[in-house]
Amino acid sequence: MAEVLITLGIIGIVAAMTIPAMLGSYRKKVVENKLKVTYSMISQALQKVQGIYGLDFVPDELSSSYENANVNGYSWELSRDVFEHYFAPHFNIAKRYPTQRDSSITLVRANNDAATAVHHNLLYIVTLNNGVTLAYQQQNQRVQSSMTWFVMLKPRTEKDYTFIEGKDIFIFRVERSDRNATGNMALTVNYPELSRDKLKEYCTSSSARPYNYHERAYFCTLLILQNGMEIPDDYPVRF
Protein backbone atom coordinates (compact mmCIF):
# COMPACT_ATOMS: atom_id res chain seq x y z
CA MET A 1 0.00 0.00 0.00
CA ALA A 2 2.81 2.39 0.86
CA GLU A 3 4.45 1.79 -2.52
CA VAL A 4 1.14 2.46 -4.29
CA LEU A 5 0.69 5.72 -2.41
CA ILE A 6 4.24 6.79 -3.22
CA THR A 7 3.69 5.97 -6.89
CA LEU A 8 0.41 7.92 -6.96
CA GLY A 9 2.15 10.84 -5.28
CA ILE A 10 4.90 10.85 -7.87
CA ILE A 11 2.31 10.69 -10.65
CA GLY A 12 0.47 13.61 -9.08
CA ILE A 13 3.62 15.72 -8.85
CA VAL A 14 4.56 15.00 -12.47
CA ALA A 15 1.03 15.80 -13.61
CA ALA A 16 1.02 19.07 -11.66
CA MET A 17 4.26 20.04 -13.37
CA THR A 18 3.38 19.01 -16.93
CA ILE A 19 -0.38 19.55 -17.36
CA PRO A 20 -0.29 23.39 -17.02
CA ALA A 21 2.48 23.57 -19.63
CA MET A 22 0.53 21.27 -21.96
CA LEU A 23 -2.64 23.33 -21.54
CA GLY A 24 -0.72 26.55 -22.13
CA SER A 25 0.84 25.13 -25.28
CA TYR A 26 -2.59 24.02 -26.51
CA ARG A 27 -4.18 27.43 -25.84
CA LYS A 28 -1.26 29.13 -27.58
CA LYS A 29 -1.72 26.96 -30.68
CA VAL A 30 -5.47 27.68 -30.75
CA VAL A 31 -4.82 31.44 -30.63
CA GLU A 32 -2.14 31.15 -33.30
CA ASN A 33 -4.40 29.23 -35.68
CA LYS A 34 -7.35 31.60 -35.20
CA LEU A 35 -5.09 34.60 -35.70
CA LYS A 36 -3.60 33.16 -38.88
CA VAL A 37 -7.05 32.50 -40.35
CA THR A 38 -8.32 35.96 -39.45
CA TYR A 39 -5.17 37.63 -40.76
CA SER A 40 -5.68 35.82 -44.07
CA MET A 41 -9.36 36.84 -44.21
CA ILE A 42 -8.60 40.52 -43.62
CA SER A 43 -5.71 40.48 -46.10
CA GLN A 44 -7.91 38.96 -48.79
CA ALA A 45 -10.66 41.50 -48.13
CA LEU A 46 -8.14 44.36 -48.41
CA GLN A 47 -6.85 43.01 -51.72
CA LYS A 48 -10.36 42.63 -53.13
CA VAL A 49 -11.41 46.12 -52.09
CA GLN A 50 -8.23 47.62 -53.53
CA GLY A 51 -8.71 45.67 -56.76
CA ILE A 52 -12.24 47.01 -57.18
CA TYR A 53 -11.95 50.56 -55.87
CA GLY A 54 -8.23 51.37 -55.76
CA LEU A 55 -6.15 52.62 -52.87
CA ASP A 56 -8.07 55.84 -52.25
CA PHE A 57 -11.43 54.11 -52.15
CA VAL A 58 -12.92 56.41 -49.50
CA PRO A 59 -14.12 59.48 -51.41
CA ASP A 60 -13.21 62.89 -50.00
CA GLU A 61 -16.89 63.85 -49.89
CA LEU A 62 -17.56 60.81 -47.71
CA SER A 63 -14.63 61.41 -45.38
CA SER A 64 -15.37 65.10 -44.95
CA SER A 65 -19.11 64.65 -44.37
CA TYR A 66 -18.79 63.52 -40.74
CA GLU A 67 -18.91 66.67 -38.67
CA ASN A 68 -18.75 64.68 -35.44
CA ALA A 69 -15.27 63.28 -36.21
CA ASN A 70 -12.74 63.92 -33.47
CA VAL A 71 -9.55 65.93 -33.91
CA ASN A 72 -7.74 62.90 -35.35
CA GLY A 73 -10.44 62.30 -37.94
CA TYR A 74 -12.17 59.29 -36.39
CA SER A 75 -15.90 58.76 -35.93
CA TRP A 76 -18.08 55.74 -35.29
CA GLU A 77 -20.34 56.56 -38.23
CA LEU A 78 -17.43 56.78 -40.66
CA SER A 79 -16.08 53.43 -39.46
CA ARG A 80 -19.53 51.84 -39.79
CA ASP A 81 -20.27 53.21 -43.25
CA VAL A 82 -16.87 52.36 -44.74
CA PHE A 83 -16.91 48.84 -43.31
CA GLU A 84 -20.48 48.08 -44.36
CA HIS A 85 -20.11 49.47 -47.88
CA TYR A 86 -16.69 48.10 -48.77
CA PHE A 87 -15.72 45.25 -46.44
CA ALA A 88 -18.88 43.60 -45.13
CA PRO A 89 -19.54 41.74 -48.44
CA HIS A 90 -16.21 39.91 -48.00
CA PHE A 91 -16.96 38.48 -44.53
CA ASN A 92 -19.51 36.00 -43.21
CA ILE A 93 -21.08 38.11 -40.48
CA ALA A 94 -23.14 36.48 -37.74
CA LYS A 95 -23.91 39.59 -35.68
CA ARG A 96 -23.61 43.34 -35.91
CA TYR A 97 -23.39 45.80 -33.02
CA PRO A 98 -25.40 48.61 -34.61
CA THR A 99 -25.11 51.48 -32.13
CA GLN A 100 -22.38 53.62 -30.62
CA ARG A 101 -23.24 52.18 -27.24
CA ASP A 102 -22.21 48.75 -28.53
CA SER A 103 -18.77 49.93 -29.62
CA SER A 104 -17.03 49.78 -26.23
CA ILE A 105 -14.20 47.38 -25.49
CA THR A 106 -12.00 47.26 -22.41
CA LEU A 107 -8.34 46.38 -22.84
CA VAL A 108 -6.44 44.76 -19.98
CA ARG A 109 -2.66 44.58 -19.84
CA ALA A 110 -1.37 41.01 -19.87
CA ASN A 111 -0.29 39.79 -16.43
CA ASN A 112 -1.76 42.87 -14.75
CA ASP A 113 -5.55 42.97 -14.55
CA ALA A 114 -5.48 46.39 -12.87
CA ALA A 115 -4.37 48.24 -16.00
CA THR A 116 -7.28 48.97 -18.34
CA ALA A 117 -8.09 51.20 -21.27
CA VAL A 118 -11.62 51.66 -22.59
CA HIS A 119 -12.45 52.41 -26.23
CA HIS A 120 -15.87 53.69 -27.15
CA ASN A 121 -17.76 55.60 -29.85
CA LEU A 122 -15.08 54.98 -32.49
CA LEU A 123 -15.12 51.25 -33.27
CA TYR A 124 -17.65 49.50 -35.47
CA ILE A 125 -17.96 45.91 -34.25
CA VAL A 126 -19.17 42.71 -35.91
CA THR A 127 -18.91 39.03 -35.00
CA LEU A 128 -18.11 36.54 -37.74
CA ASN A 129 -19.64 33.10 -38.18
CA ASN A 130 -16.46 31.49 -36.85
CA GLY A 131 -16.83 33.30 -33.51
CA VAL A 132 -14.09 35.87 -34.08
CA THR A 133 -15.13 39.48 -33.45
CA LEU A 134 -13.75 42.34 -35.54
CA ALA A 135 -13.70 46.00 -34.53
CA TYR A 136 -13.01 48.37 -37.42
CA GLN A 137 -11.76 51.95 -37.19
CA GLN A 138 -11.45 54.24 -40.20
CA GLN A 139 -9.62 57.55 -40.17
CA ASN A 140 -10.76 60.57 -42.14
CA GLN A 141 -8.90 60.64 -45.46
CA ARG A 142 -8.14 64.34 -45.12
CA VAL A 143 -6.16 63.66 -41.93
CA GLN A 144 -4.05 60.61 -42.72
CA SER A 145 -6.31 57.90 -44.10
CA SER A 146 -5.37 54.89 -42.03
CA MET A 147 -7.46 52.04 -40.73
CA THR A 148 -7.21 49.79 -37.70
CA TRP A 149 -8.49 46.25 -37.26
CA PHE A 150 -9.03 44.92 -33.75
CA VAL A 151 -9.22 41.11 -33.75
CA MET A 152 -10.97 39.65 -30.69
CA LEU A 153 -10.56 35.89 -30.42
CA LYS A 154 -12.58 35.58 -27.22
CA PRO A 155 -16.37 35.94 -27.67
CA ARG A 156 -17.63 39.45 -26.98
CA THR A 157 -20.89 39.57 -25.06
CA GLU A 158 -23.11 42.35 -23.77
CA LYS A 159 -21.85 41.66 -20.24
CA ASP A 160 -18.20 40.95 -21.00
CA TYR A 161 -16.17 43.07 -23.38
CA THR A 162 -12.86 42.90 -21.50
CA PHE A 163 -9.91 41.54 -23.46
CA ILE A 164 -6.33 40.79 -22.44
CA GLU A 165 -3.93 42.48 -24.83
CA GLY A 166 -1.78 40.10 -26.81
CA LYS A 167 -3.74 37.09 -25.58
CA ASP A 168 -7.30 37.41 -26.81
CA ILE A 169 -7.16 40.72 -28.68
CA PHE A 170 -4.70 41.78 -31.38
CA ILE A 171 -4.37 44.96 -33.45
CA PHE A 172 -3.46 45.31 -37.12
CA ARG A 173 -2.84 48.64 -38.88
CA VAL A 174 -3.11 49.66 -42.51
CA GLU A 175 -1.40 52.91 -43.46
CA ARG A 176 -2.75 54.34 -46.71
CA SER A 177 -0.39 57.30 -46.94
CA ASP A 178 3.19 58.21 -47.87
CA ARG A 179 4.33 56.17 -44.88
CA ASN A 180 3.16 53.04 -46.67
CA ALA A 181 6.02 52.61 -49.12
CA THR A 182 4.37 49.62 -50.82
CA GLY A 183 1.47 51.77 -51.98
CA ASN A 184 -1.14 49.12 -51.25
CA MET A 185 -3.51 48.18 -48.49
CA ALA A 186 -1.38 45.72 -46.56
CA LEU A 187 -1.32 44.83 -42.89
CA THR A 188 2.05 46.47 -42.40
CA VAL A 189 4.65 46.33 -39.64
CA ASN A 190 5.35 49.91 -38.61
CA TYR A 191 8.29 51.16 -36.57
CA PRO A 192 10.86 48.67 -37.92
CA GLU A 193 13.50 50.46 -35.85
CA LEU A 194 12.17 48.82 -32.70
CA SER A 195 14.20 45.85 -31.54
CA ARG A 196 12.60 42.58 -30.51
CA ASP A 197 13.48 43.36 -26.90
CA LYS A 198 11.60 46.66 -27.13
CA LEU A 199 8.59 45.00 -28.75
CA LYS A 200 8.53 42.43 -25.96
CA GLU A 201 8.75 45.20 -23.37
CA TYR A 202 5.97 47.28 -24.90
CA CYS A 203 3.80 44.19 -25.32
CA THR A 204 3.24 43.97 -21.56
CA SER A 205 4.66 47.14 -20.02
CA SER A 206 2.67 50.07 -18.67
CA SER A 207 4.96 52.33 -20.72
CA ALA A 208 3.66 50.97 -24.03
CA ARG A 209 2.90 54.34 -25.62
CA PRO A 210 6.32 55.72 -26.58
CA TYR A 211 4.95 56.88 -29.93
CA ASN A 212 1.53 57.98 -28.69
CA TYR A 213 0.29 55.06 -30.75
CA HIS A 214 -1.99 52.15 -30.00
CA GLU A 215 -2.13 49.83 -27.04
CA ARG A 216 0.17 47.03 -26.03
CA ALA A 217 -1.82 44.61 -28.19
CA TYR A 218 -0.37 46.31 -31.26
CA PHE A 219 3.22 45.65 -30.19
CA CYS A 220 2.33 42.05 -29.29
CA THR A 221 0.90 41.68 -32.80
CA LEU A 222 4.10 43.06 -34.33
CA LEU A 223 6.08 40.32 -32.60
CA ILE A 224 3.86 37.70 -34.22
CA LEU A 225 3.86 39.40 -37.63
CA GLN A 226 7.64 39.57 -37.65
CA ASN A 227 7.74 35.86 -36.83
CA GLY A 228 5.75 34.81 -39.89
CA MET A 229 2.38 34.85 -38.09
CA GLU A 230 3.59 32.30 -35.55
CA ILE A 231 3.76 33.08 -31.84
CA PRO A 232 7.50 33.12 -30.96
CA ASP A 233 8.91 30.99 -28.19
CA ASP A 234 9.95 34.09 -26.23
CA TYR A 235 6.51 35.71 -26.51
CA PRO A 236 6.02 37.63 -23.23
CA VAL A 237 2.31 36.85 -22.72
CA ARG A 238 1.43 33.61 -20.94
CA PHE A 239 -1.33 31.37 -22.24
The reported pLDDT for the residue numbered 231 is 94
The pLDDT tens digits for 96-109 are 999 888 888 888 88
- Domain range list for the chain: 2-225
The reported pLDDT for the residue numbered 169 is 93
The length of the chain is 239
Proportion of the chain above pLDDT 70, given as a percent: 68
The pLDDT tens digits for 170-184 are 999 887 654 444 556
The reported pLDDT for the residue numbered 139 is 79
Lowest mean pLDDT, pick from 43-52, 78-87, 134-143, 180-189 = 180-189
The reported pLDDT for the residue numbered 144 is 57
Read off the pLDDT of each residue in 133-138 and give the average, rounded to a whole number. 92
Three-state SS letters, 145-203:
CEEEEEEECCCCCCCCCEEEECCCEEEEEEECCCCCCCCCCCCCCCCCCCCHHHHHHHH
pTM for the predicted model, two decimal places: 0.84
Read off the pLDDT of each residue in 70-77 and give the average, rounded to a whole number. 78
CA distance 232 to 89: 33
- Whether 59 has a pLDDT exceeding 90, the answer reads no
67-76 contacts at long range (C-beta below 8 A, 24 or more positions apart)? 69/140, 70/122, 72/139, 72/143, 73/139, 73/140, 73/141, 73/142, 73/143, 73/144, 74/122, 74/137, 74/138, 74/139, 74/140, 75/122, 75/140, 76/100, 76/103, 76/121, 76/122, 76/123, 76/124
Confidence of residue 5 (pLDDT cuts 50, 70, 90): low
